[in-house]
Chain A
Amino acid sequence: MRRWGYKETHMQTLDFTVTENVQLTADIWRVRLAAPLCEHSEATCAPQVGQFVNVQIDGLFLRRPISVCDWEDGVLTLIYRVVGAGTEKLAQVQPGQVLNVLGSLGNGFTIVLAQRPLLIGGGVGVPPMYYLAKELVKAGQQPIMMMGFNTIDDVFYVEEFTALCRLTRVATVDGSFGVKGFVTGGLEEFDYDAVYACGPEPMLRAIDQTAKELAPGHMQLSFEARMACGFGACMACTCRTKMGYKRICKEGPILTREEVSWT
């Protein structure tokens, strides 16, 4: 029997079973979740790169949005930083427990035809880049990965990216690992024809300001907003763009350089 995937046009809530929940750094965890088994003949598919899921956590009213870090044969990987009540509870979840997951949400990255895509992740903006890097490699592209952290103790997934990417560079703000400085420093050293990025908003803005001119749609930035529903029903997450108002959960979280309007 195979595992349930997400139907392309049908978001849904599914009960996933936790297969592992491990600590990667002082405050970063990785949870793996197996989709329910099903005998459905209906075609199902994996989440798209850059999409996210909204995870229900026992005892808390709102779901928590987390990016898809990987999807392999119906097993979903999420990497999260423990920052508050919800992620604290998530870190206590044991293998075998069930989590209700609403997905898969958002527009996702559009994989553009490029020779040398540059992937940039800052902190918990790194995880979605993993799934993207995998799919880019499958599509015959050779991504460069730049990952940024505050300090050596925060660093995760360097080996995983090194195994996938043509080049993987790590920057730490204090210089304790890799290059010293922000992940956006030294962009000009690279030859690239597309940029995909996820991380704190100042990082995204710096990328927009320093990266060279690219073909339209070839710079895609992933944004965050406080959400309630995650599927477009409540308007909690709307932002202004050059192409009108967009719900980060629905018409986002990915915006192109051409649509972003910095405020």
Chain B
Amino acid sequence: MDLNVTLSGVALQNPVIPASGCCGFGHEMRPFYDINILGGLALKGSTLEPRFGNELPRVAETAAGMLNSVGLQNPGIEAVAQAIAPALAQDFHQPILANVSGFSKEEFVKSCEIITQCDAVSIIELNISCPNVHGGGMIFGTCAETAADIVAACKAVVTKPLYVKLTPNVTSIAEVAKACEAAGADGLSLINTLLGMRIDLKKRKPIMANKVGGLSGPAIFPVALRCVWQVYAAVKIPLIGLGGISCARDVIEMMLAGATAVQVGAANLVNPMVCKEIIDELPGEMEKLGIEKLTDIIGGAHA
């Protein structure tokens, strides 16, 4: 059974990466399993300046999923580049994806300049799709021209593969994907969360302080799969598929739709062992489905 995959020249021992915001800065998963079994790890989204994030409550439950409005709580990109990523890399030997967010093109570019210097980081994941920050974190990702403008500016300053994380909250995700590819993106991660909300019936008020937040978890898997399917048909660059993945079969389905690797988000929060379980289950599921080499099935459903 061959689980190896490659993202823009970065080799992964398997396609399973815990998603940004759902595994802290990596350290948080250590009590549960040896994190070196992972295909890679995506760090919490970081911005140029440190941020507290949104007020509490920041989460709400939904059918088969959850909403979050954490609002990019992070210690600032400098701390990630200087201290957090290097410390993680001391004994974590798989590719680290640094998730970068911002409030203006200039900020994205400055953050990219800083994080690209960090040897511990293998891939830069540009989060132009966070729905939880005012000043329009997501606005960048909902307009093809704006997205392309930021991607081109960041691409000009980075020396590592640049992946762009896309939002599903658009009319045509394929269009935004194509614009990012044309602007120089080395790959795409999709999807970020879907905008949603819940109201507390007793208080008659939104549950979350931010009122709205991003939906994730198994509820969004079909949406994510559809997005990966559409984008795979529209671009040539590799895709990281995510959204609602919680078992090995979901991984295979996502790869058949066109993903080269996958990320697992909210599932970690309810079952901290989930990435290990998926990695352990993958060979058995591949065997059942007659798959010998995972790379053979990427986009396989399109034939």
Chain A contacts with B in 15-68, Cβ cutoff 8 A: 56, 60-63
- Cβ B269 vs Cβ A239 within 8 A: no
- Contact code string B287-303 (vs A, CB < 8 Å = 1, else 0): 00000000000000000
**B66 with A61: CB separation less than 8 A:** yes
CB of B272 within 8 A of CB of A231, answer yes
Q: State the Cβ distance, B73 to closest chain A Cβ, in Å.
A: 5
Do the beta carbons of A229 and B52 come within 8 Å of each other? Answer: no
- Among A56, A61, A229, which residue has its beta carbon within 8 angstroms of that of B61? A61
Q: How far apart are B51's CB and chain A's nearest CB, in angstroms?
A: 10
Contact of A229 among B62, B65, B269, B273 (CB under 8 A): B269
Instruction: Tell me whether A228 and B272 are in contact (CB under 8 A).
Output: no
Q: CA–CA, A9 to B30, complex, Å?
A: 10
- Shortest Cβ distance from A62 into chain B, in angstroms? 5
A13 CB contacts on chain B under 8 angstroms: 271-273
Pairwise interchain contact B52-A231, C-beta atoms closer than 8 A? no
CB-CB nearest in chain B for A102: B272
CA of A78 to CA of B140 in the docked complex: distance in angstroms? Answer: 47
Per-residue CB contact flags for chain A residues 226-253 toward chain B (1 = under 8 Å, else 0) read 1111011111111110000100001000
**Contacting pair A238 B66 (CB below 8 A):** no
User: Which of B29, B31, B272 is close to A9, meaning CB atoms less than 8 Å apart?
Assistant: B31
Please indicate the chain B residues that have their CB under 8 angstroms from the CB of A10 in the complex. Answer: 31-32
Report the stretch among B20-28, B80-88, B96-104 that lies at the interface.
B20-28
Residues in A with CB closer than 8 Å to B21 are 234-235
A187: Cβ under 8 A from any B Cβ: no
Contact across chains for B59 and A238 when beta carbons are under 8 A apart: no
Q: Mark A193-231, 1 if CB is under 8 A from B, else 0.
A: 000000000000000000000000000000001111101
From the candidates B29, B58, B65, B217, name the one contacting A235 in the complex (CB within 8 A): B58
List of A residues within 8 angstroms of B59 by Cβ: 62, 226-228, 234, 236
Cβ-neighbour of A231 out of B28, B60, B62, B68 (below 8 A): B28
Q: Which residue of chain A has the shortest Cβ distance to B208 in the bound complex?
A: A226
Question: In the complex, which residues of chain A have a beta carbon less than 8 angstroms from the beta carbon of B73?
Answer: 235, 238, 245
Tell which of A9, A61, A225, A226 has the most Cβ of chain B within 10 Å. Answer: A61
Given A226-B56, A234-B21: A11 in contact with B272 (beta carbons within 8 A): yes
Contact B269 A228, beta carbon cutoff 8 Å = yes
In angstroms, Cα B58 to Cα A233, docked, is 13
Residues of chain B contacted by A236 (CB below 8 angstroms): 56-59, 68, 70
Complex CA distance for A234 and B56, rounded to whole angstroms:
13
- The CA of A140 and the CA of B115, in the complex, are separated in Å by 54
Is the pair B272, A60 in contact by a Cβ cutoff of 8 Å?
Answer: no
The answer to whether B269 and A234 touch across the interface, beta carbons within 8 angstroms, is yes
Question: In terms of DSSP, what is the predominant structure of the interface of chain B?
Answer: loop
Q: How far is the CB of A16 from chain B (nearest CB, A)?
A: 16
**Does any Cβ of B come within 8 Å of A12's Cβ?**
yes
A238 touches B53 (CB 8 A): yes
Contact among B61, B266, B271 with A60 in the assembled complex (CB-CB below 8 Å): B61
- Residues on A with C-beta less than 8 A from B68 are 228, 234, 236
- Contact between chains at A233 and B24 (CB < 8 Å): yes
Residue of B nearest to A64 (CB): B61
CB distance from B148 to the nearest CB of A (A): 30
* A residues in contact with B62, CB < 8 Å: 61
Chain A min CB distance to B39 (Å): 18
Q: How far is the CB of A106 from chain B (nearest CB, A)?
A: 13
Q: Which residues of B contact A228 (CB under 8 A)?
A: 59, 66, 68, 266, 269-270
Please measure, in the bound complex, the distance between the C-alpha atom of A34 and the C-alpha atom of B273, giving whole angstroms: 21
A234 touching B64 in the complex, CB below 8 Å, given contacts A61-B270, A228-B59: no
Chain A residues whose CB sits within 8 angstroms of the CB of B65 once the complex forms: 61
Check A232/B28 contact, CB under 8 A, given A61-B62, A240-B52. Answer: yes
Q: Which of A63, A232, A238 meets B52, CB within 8 Å?
A: A238
Contacts of B24 in A (CB 8 A): 232-235
Contacts of B32 in A (CB 8 A): 10-12
| A226 nearest in chain B by CB position | B57
- Residue B13 CB within 8 A of the other chain: no
Choice from A12, A225, A233, A237 contacting B268 with Cβ under 8 Å = A233
Chain A CB within 10 A, most for which of B23, B58, B73:
B58
A99 to chain B, nearest CB (A): 14
Tell me which residues from 35 to 87 in chain B have a Cβ below 8 Å from any Cβ of chain A. 44, 52-53, 56-66, 68, 70, 73
Q: State how many angstroms separate the Cβ of B170 from the closest Cβ of chain A.
A: 25
Cβ-closest 9 pairs across A and B:
A226-B57, A229-B269, A233-B28, A236-B59, A233-B24, A235-B73, A232-B28, A228-B269, A11-B31
List 19 A–B pairs whose Cβ atoms lie within 8 Å, in order of A's numbering: A11-B31, A13-B271, A61-B62, A61-B63, A61-B217, A62-B270, A225-B56, A225-B57, A226-B60, A227-B59, A228-B59, A228-B270, A231-B31, A231-B272, A233-B269, A234-B24, A234-B59, A235-B21, A236-B58
